[in-house]
Amino acid sequence: MNKSKGWMESEISKALTKWEKDFLGRGSVSVKTDILRDMIIVSLHGILTPAEYALCESKEGMLAVKRSRTSLVESGVDDLKEMIFEITGEQVKSFHTDLSTRTGERIIVFKLFNDLEKQLPK
């Protein structure tokens, strides 16, 4: 494998931003990807709309935003796993995500079957 860690992290960030725009209709303000051992950790900033921030002022609204955003992302998880495979050559073992309705950030963790970081050139 001749792809560098930085190249893969950049490609994953770009692909995830494109997926957000194509699948969800809008993208985040910024995306940062880190490969750590057998995990790919993606931090997305600025994902909530002004209307969603307003909804999050009540507990019911916050829970509704979290539920709907999580359902949307989970419905596209197969595309995300395929995207990771195409860039890294590694299969995704599990997918984890959470959203902060206070900061408008989402964290996505792709857990891989193998230690990708160990395979990459330094």
Alpha helices (runs of H) in 37-94, residue ranges in sequence order = 50-55, 59-75, 77-88
Q: How far apart are the first and last CA of the chain?
A: 12
Given a contact cutoff of 8 angstroms between Cβ atoms, the answer to whether 104 and 59 are in contact is no
Taking the CA atoms of residue 71, residue 57, residue 45 and residue 75 in that order, the dihedral angle to the nearest 10 degrees is 0
- Check if the beta carbon of residue 80 is closer than 8 Å to that of residue 15: no
Q: From 43, 36, 53, 39, select the one nearest 17 (Cα to Cα).
A: 43
Average pLDDT of the segment spanning 12-30: 92
Handedness of CA 92, 97, 103, 105 (dihedral sign): positive
Residue with more model confidence, 81 or 1: 81
Is a pLDDT exceeding 80 seen at residue 49? yes
Torsion sign over Cα 13, 19, 105, 117: negative
pLDDT value for 53: 94
Burial of 116 (0-12, 13-18, 19+ CB in 10 A): buried
pTM of the model: 0.92
